[in-house]
Amino acid sequence: MLSGCKKDASCINQSKISGDIVSDLNLGVCYNLMQNDTIIITDTATFLDLKNKIDVDYYALYSAKCDTLKDTIDFSAYNIIGYFSSGIGCNVNFHKEFIIDNALRTYSYIITIEECGECTLEEFSMNWIIVPKLDLTYTFIFDKKFEK
């Protein structure tokens, strides 16, 4: 932590999920190093390809293998979405909302980034979530909002 940067007790670890999210997903620190805008994973092969790419990238940076991925996902019932976001503050919360609109045939993933305190520390996240099996013919809408 930077000298003079004090965590704001009013928003420490208060990130929330809402809407049609099955669960939040922590893929480990290696997957937070990514800075891709959006990633949609619909099958095991794509998931393993991503893990292999991250292992290679992590090893190139830190000369160590990244083995933080422990979970398995049933891709016949669920999919994974990651949506990169960052914020600046003593603490940053990433509130995740995923909305399925079958009438409009859309999926909306909205990240509300709550920046707390006057620090200039940047925090970032890929905001991984597990969602019900996706129909890839639907339109995807990704949006970010900021709160102080």
Domain assignment present for 134 = yes
| Residue where the block lists tokens 């503050």 | 89
Q: Give the percent of the chain with pLDDT over 90.
A: 49
How far apart, in whole angstroms, are the C-alpha atoms of residue 20 and residue 14? 19
Residues 62-84 pLDDT 10s: 666 665 556 678 999 999 999 99
How far apart, in whole angstroms, are the C-alpha atoms of residue 147 and residue 132? 28
Domain assignment present for 99 = yes
How far apart, in whole angstroms, are the C-alpha atoms of residue 40 and residue 55? 19
Report H helices in 1-148.
29-32, 44-62
Residues 93-113 pLDDT 10s: 999 999 999 999 999 999 999
Domain assignment present for 137 = yes
Domain assignment present for 67 = yes
Domain extent for 66 = 9-147
